[in-house]
């Protein structure tokens, strides 16, 4: 397959995927090395495609969805419920961030789109692989949530408010 055709095919794969695609997955799909995929992604970025790298693979931010930042508060035991509430209502949890009084904004990418993603994240917390940022700020934190429409974002907001996770700003 010629590079030009492969670049178009990669964009189509990334657009169709709701979850990040690893370089190895794309390499197997197009029967090239992972290094070729890395070069292809660099070319696509140079062509103004908004492709981000996550710990799970590449993700195309195209077309941009609707975004809303939610300020939330809950204890550590409620993390899974809060995140399930968002993804089950049709949202994607792009990140978590806190505003620390000394360090300023501290942000971590999450890219949680499903219950399985949430389960993996919560398992990592339970195993001590990662520590929730909310521990730095007395359990207050923010999420950037993406959804297909304002209606879905409104639904997520309503559900978070019903569970008393939402903090009015």
pLDDT at residue 61, rounded to an integer: 79
pLDDT at residue 131, rounded to an integer: 80
Torsion of the alpha carbons at 20, 25, 27 and 29, rounded to the nearest 10: -110
The CA–CA distances, whole Å, from 78 to 3, 8, 133, 157 equal: 47, 42, 14, 16
Domain ranges of the chain: 3-60, 66-162
On whether 100 is known to bind a ligand per the annotation, the reply is: no
**Homologous superfamily assigned to 66-162:** 3H domain (3.30.1340.20)
On whether 82 is known to bind a ligand per the annotation, the reply is: yes
pLDDT at residue 149, rounded to an integer: 87
Residues whose CB is less than 8 angstroms from the CB of residue 132 and which lie 6 or more positions away in sequence, other chains included: 76, 79, 96, 125, 141
pLDDT at residue 64, rounded to an integer: 59
Rounded average pLDDT over 33-42: 94
| Residues 153 and 70 sit within 8 Å (Cβ to Cβ) | no
| Residues 148 and 77 sit within 8 Å (Cβ to Cβ) | no
Angle at 64 between CA 59 and CA 68, to 5 degrees: 105
Rounded average pLDDT over 36-58: 89
Taking the domain 3-60, which CATH number applies?
1.10.10.10
Structure tokens at 41: 């992604």
Mean of per-residue pLDDT scores for the chain: 90
Q: Is the pLDDT of residue 29 over 70?
A: yes
pLDDT at residue 10, rounded to an integer: 94
pLDDT digits (tens, 9 = 90+) for 68-91: 999 999 998 999 999 999 999 999
What's the pTM? 0.68
pLDDT digits (tens, 9 = 90+) for 93-148: 999 999 888 888 888 889 899 999 999 999 998 888 778 888 888 888 999 999 98
pLDDT at residue 103, rounded to an integer: 86
pLDDT at residue 148, rounded to an integer: 85
Residues 111, 144: Cα–Cα separation, whole Å? 10
Q: Is the pLDDT of residue 63 over 80?
A: no
Query: For tokens 């095919």, what's the residue?
Result: 9
| Residues 62 and 75 sit within 8 Å (Cβ to Cβ) | no
């Amino acid at each position: 397959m010629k590079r030009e055709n492969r670049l178009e095919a990669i964009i189509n794969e990334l657009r169709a995927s709701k979850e990040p695609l690893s370089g190895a997955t794309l390499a197997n799909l197009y029967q090239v090395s992972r290094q070729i995929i890395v070069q292809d992604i660099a070319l696509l970025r140079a062509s103004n495609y908004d492709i981000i790298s996550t710990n799970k693979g590449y993700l195309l931010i195209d077309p941009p969805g609707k975004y809303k930042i939610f300020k939330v508060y809950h204890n550590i035991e409620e993390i899974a419920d809060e995140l399930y509430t968002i993804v089950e209502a049709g949202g994607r949890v792009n990140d978590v961030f806190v505003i620390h009084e000394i360090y300023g904004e501290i942000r971590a990418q999450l890219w949680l789109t499903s219950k399985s993603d949430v389960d993996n994240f919560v398992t990592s917390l339970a195993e001590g692989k990662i520590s929730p940022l909310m521990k730095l700020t007395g359990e207050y934190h923010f999420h950037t949530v993406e959804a297909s429409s304002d209606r879905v974002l409104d639904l997520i907001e309503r559900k978070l408010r019903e569970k008393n996770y939402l903090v009015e700003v």
